[in-house]
Amino acid sequence: MLYHITRGGQSYGPYTLADLQRYVASGHVLLTDLAKSDEMAEWVPVSQILNPSGLPPAGETPIAPAAGYVSPESGYAQQPVAPVNAYQDPPNLHWGLVLLFDFLTCGVFQIVWNFVIAAWIKRVQPNSQGFIYYAVGYALQLVASGMSFPSYVVMFHGGVPHSSGGLGLLGLVALIIRIVGHFNIKSSLEEHYNTVEPINFRMSGVLTFFFGGLYIQSQLNRINEIKQAIRYRDFGR
């Protein structure tokens, strides 16, 4: 038998009984969510459908199907559903403050904040590789800056620095890797907020390219606003 789940005016499924058991155990479906099969006349709480003794034993970690998973029993694509409080909210420092602190610290704050964002998305979307891209990109930039230091000393004393195409190329590679990191974060956010916590979320590739971490933070602010609105809506019911 296949069941549909409804929450907040949106329907999900269909799911088999085994799917419901896994999703309840993982927190993607709540026992208070309403469920209904084609044979049922009314929607009833999921708790009335599931047999508590049929849930996975205590201590066992259930694995919910990934987005796009097709259940062999149903033949339908499954979409995990997560309550709005199931995952940690994004870092919510206003993007304007990020810009101010970045200016006051000559760009150091933005570097640190990019790692904060990358570490957070790694916790909620484990397949994200943004942290690695940032680490490699900024490490290469640090090496390039260190190797350029003697040239700055020569310029300070009025000399003519020796130009090196290799350092310029290294700096360009570092920049490209950091940009790839921005787009990896963008992809991870869109994947998470269109599957696990579906809020119909999209980001601009153009703005991601030109404004990087600052634009990403503005979108995290937007996500927090959406999640807060959902909480108020659900609380008022």
Q: Please determine, for residue 150, whether its predicted confidence score (pLDDT) is greater than 80.
A: no
CA separation, residue 31 to residues 23, 58, 64 (Å): 10, 17, 16
Q: Please determine, for residue 52, whether its predicted confidence score (pLDDT) is greater than 90.
A: no
Cα separation, 118 vs 37, whole angstroms: 41
pTM for the model stands at: 0.63
pLDDT of 58: 47
Q: Decide: 48 and 32 in contact? Cβ < 8 Å.
A: no
pLDDT of 139: 96
pLDDT of 222: 95
Domain 1-81's class? alpha beta
Main-chain phi, psi angles of 13, to 5 degrees = 115, -165
Rounded average pLDDT over 96-121? 97
Collapse the DSSP code of 36 into the 3-class scheme (helix H, G, I; strand E, B; otherwise coil) and give the result: strand
Q: Please determine, for residue 57, whether its predicted confidence score (pLDDT) is greater than 60.
A: no
Q: Please determine, for residue 81, whether its predicted confidence score (pLDDT) is greater than 80.
A: no
Domain extents for the chain?
1-81, 95-235
141: tokens are 């930039």
Q: Please determine, for residue 173, whether its predicted confidence score (pLDDT) is greater than 50.
A: yes
CA–CA–CA angle 217, 113, 191 (5° rounding): 50
Q: What are the residue ranges of helices labelled H in 75-107?
A: 95-104
pLDDT of 223: 94
Cα separation, 93 vs 34, whole angstroms: 36
157-169 per-position pLDDT tens digit: 565 555 556 778 9
- Residue scoring higher pLDDT (171 or 59): 171
Helices vs strands, H then E, count in the chain:
7, 4
187-236 per-position pLDDT tens digit: 999 998 988 788 889 999 999 999 999 999 999 999 999 888 877 776 65
Q: Which amino acid is at 190?
A: E
User: Cβ of 37: how many Cβ atoms within 10 Å?
Assistant: 15
| Residue among 54, 64, 52 nearest 26 (CA) | 64
Question: Cα 45 to the chain's mean position, in Å?
Answer: 30
Q: Please determine, for residue 179, whether its predicted confidence score (pLDDT) is greater than 90.
A: yes
Q: Which amino acid is at 205?
A: G
Which range is most confident: 20-34, 68-82, 171-185? Answer: 171-185
pLDDT of 221: 96
State the chain's mean pLDDT as an integer: 80
- The model's confidence at residue 102, banded by pLDDT at 50, 70 and 90, is very high
pLDDT of 54: 41
